[in-house]
Structure 1
Amino acid sequence: MSSLTILTVPAFSTLCNAAFALRREVFVWEQKVPEEEENDELDLTATHYVAIADGEVVGTLRLIDYPEHIKIGRVAVRLHYRGRGVARQLIEAAMADARQDGRDRFYLTAQSDKLGLYRKLGFVEFGPEFLDGGMPHRAMRDYDKDTATLSN
């Protein structure tokens, strides 16, 4: 893999549309998430990130800004680029950007088989396991507040 370039991209720009196609590839085709669950209105206001390597979008995620925290979501990496640190670099870059804006509380829901990645980034799971898109997930946060009100 050549070096990785991480960019924020406007919703429905050419690069963001490539990110949406990657999300469809990973979540809908590979993981069998119903397409109507993968696409939602939050894409219109989210901050979208892409990771580019070898001339193509190989990873993506979105940030949703809630008053109580930033939610990291829709983390997807193209099959042939998994295990190379793409997701970690994307998440670290997105969190660094949010911290520059004074935001330092992050929340996500992780597929249960991916908890290790998020633990390495400082996230701790809480609450019961639940199904999302037909797959078991856990809520995770990188801050300690027992009474936090969390948005989806």
Structure 2
Amino acid sequence: MHDITLLTVPVFSTLCNAAFALRREVFVIEQQIPEAEEFDADDLTATHLVAIAAGNVVGTLRIIWAPEHVKLGRVVVAQLWRGQGISTLLLRHAMDLARDKGQTRFYLTAQHDKLAVYEKLGFVAFGEPFDDGSGILHLKMKTY
């Protein structure tokens, strides 16, 4: 595995814009999610994390700080870098950042075929599968 650097980046910085481009590449182009659904107002206030390898942003996620929980989302890894544990590194880092701020409750919605990634970090699915408007079934997940 290559050396991976994890960074918190300001919205609309060069690295965050590279993360947005990666989200567009994977979610909008590859998975055909409407761009209007992928990018929203939460991007303006979220904390954005990037994973950098070989000089490129190869993964990203965002953290939304809600009163009732920390919501993790928009987890994405570039196609050539999948299967190397980058999403797990990003998620662990995000959860550690939240715990450092005293937060212990985590929530997310996961694409149905990605549940195992989150389960190994202590997330448990609840409720019925749903289509979030993207045409992809999701499940709500949380930690207890």
TM-score by length of 2: 0.98
* 1:24 aligned partner: 24
Structure 2: tracts of 5 or more residues without a match:
none
One-letter code aligned to 1:136: L
* SS of corresponding position for 2:122: coil
One-letter code aligned to 1:42: D
Deviations 1:7-49 (A, max 9, x none): 0000000000000000000100000000000010000000000
* 1:60 aligned partner: 60
* SS of corresponding position for 2:12: coil
* 1:5 aligned partner: 5
Describe how 1:54-133 pairs up with structure 2 within 5 A. Answer: 54-132=54-132, 133=134
Deviations 1:75-120 (A, max 9, x none): 0000000000000000000100110010111000000000011111
Structure 1: tracts of 5 or more residues without a match:
144-152
Deviations 1:33-74 (A, max 9, x none): 000000100000000000000000000000000000000000
Count of residues in correspondence between the two structures:
143
> How many percent of aligned residue pairs carry the same amino acid?
62
Structure 1 residue ranges, 4+ long, deviating more than 3 angstroms after superposition: none
Counterparts of 1:50 and 1:114, CA distance in 2: 19
* 1:136 aligned partner: 137
